[in-house]
Structure 1
């Protein structure tokens, strides 16, 4: 039992380290090579987890090999545009200046129903409103409508809106004080204690979330009493 637990923990953290090397991507945003790597890593990890007769190294060595190969290919793709095009492919224009490229759609096995579905997901109901539609390497469809079909911006309306966007910093997370963020904001624990008391709470341990943005605005949410 202890052996199964230890093998599972080792392989889990090994796979997690490998996925971190791939960067912060969602499954739908993976390049083909990254998707293949993810599937192979999961298969390699499950075999030594379930079959104790297989040495752990029989799973670890192939995983390290795949991760090393992935890092090597990533470095090569950064240095060579031609190699990157071969490895990852290149984006395909499906709609060019409002004209549907049927040959490109057939080549990528992209049906008209799929195209209309993607356009509806981006708030476009008419093909004539699209100037460019590009099928990215990840399978995502980038849609650029004609200027007349785009909503007006503040620049188009000659309006100069105030920059009211302020990035909040978390100071208290579920009753835990984030000392690093508090120091970064130039505030003390005494100041925080005063702000918490103004919200009618005794201590920051009674706070579920407390944030402070760059404009000095405080947002405090108290913990709910457990039933």
Structure 2
């Protein structure tokens, strides 16, 4: 449009656009058609599309959205290309799912693999680096689960779908605090061990001057989890 064609009082252009009024009826037909295509596509892609999306499922969803958005609004675009794209996306999605079920190696390549972020109350720093998960983000998640120190954690897995799975220790042991260091009053309420020290970087129990897990040299007293009355 030319600048002189734009007027703030032009309600028809603002709400209807530069199309005949009859296109509103056509837009309803297009929307119903595209909605049916999307429902059918998601049904064919499987139940996972209604839950936590994997990387490939997110790509499929984005492709469907890009293919079907324009035909609803553009009168000069046909519906057949959107249908063809939806068919291709569904076929590729189902094909990748079948290959992933048959080959663990292909599943790891297409979906990524599970990572262990915490093992026996100790942070696995190389895995944190590989998955681009910061200590702060992991600690925030563990705090949201009601935990106060790593001694309560048996395992934390970072699933291929991008979410955490937490397995708690049956019996908590002294561990690295999950509470921000500036909240000293709350840390003191949790009980601080006078005998056990843990690595301030990864939570490994001290057995030498240098941490055997991450080679750090900074230590702090472990949290026992026994609240002081």
TM range (shorter): 0.5 to 0.7
Q: How many residues in Structure 1 have an aligned counterpart in Structure 2?
A: 150
Larger Rg: 2
Task: Choose which of 52, 62, 81 in structure 1 pairs with 2:104.
Answer: 81
| Structure 1: stretches of 5+ with no match in the other structure | 151-227
How do residues 46-61 of structure 1 correspond to structure 2 at under 5 angstroms?
46-61=69-84
Aligned 1:145-164 pairs, distance under 5 A: 145-149=168-172
Q: How does 1:123-134 map to 2 (within 5 A)?
A: 123-134=146-157
The one-character-per-residue Cα deviations of 1:126-168 (angstroms, maximum 9, x if unpaired) are 1221111100011111111111149xxxxxxxxxxxxxxxxxx
Counterpart of 1:166 in structure 2 is none
The root-mean-square deviation of aligned C-alpha atoms, in Å, is: 1.9
- Partners of 1:18 and 1:40 lie apart in 2 by 11
The 5 A counterparts of 1:114-193 are 114-149=137-172
Query: Please, which of 83, 87, 90 is the counterpart of residue 64 of structure 1?
Result: 87
Is 1:18 matched up with 2:10? no
Decide whether the 8 Å contact of 1:28 with 1:138 is kept in 2: no
SS of structure 2 residue aligned to 1:144: strand
Distance in 1, matches of 2:41 and 2:49, equals: 15
Which residue does 1:153 correspond to in 2?
A: none
Cα offset, 1:26, TM superposition? 7.1
Partner in structure 1 of residue 54 of structure 2? 31
Aligned partners of 1:21, 1:128: CA distance in 2, in Å? 45
On the 8 A contact 2:42/2:49 being kept in 1, the answer is no
Alpha-carbon offset, residue 25 of structure 1: 4.1
Q: Distance in 2 between matches of 1:29 and 1:138?
A: 7
Give the TM-score taking structure 2 as reference length: 0.61
TM-score (norm 1): 0.62
Q: Which residue of 2 aligns with 1:40?
A: 63
Alpha carbons 2:119, 2:155 under 8 Å: kept: yes
Cα separation, partners in 2 of 1:99 and 1:28, compared to 1, 3 Å? farther
**2: CA distance, partners of 1:21 / 1:147:** 42
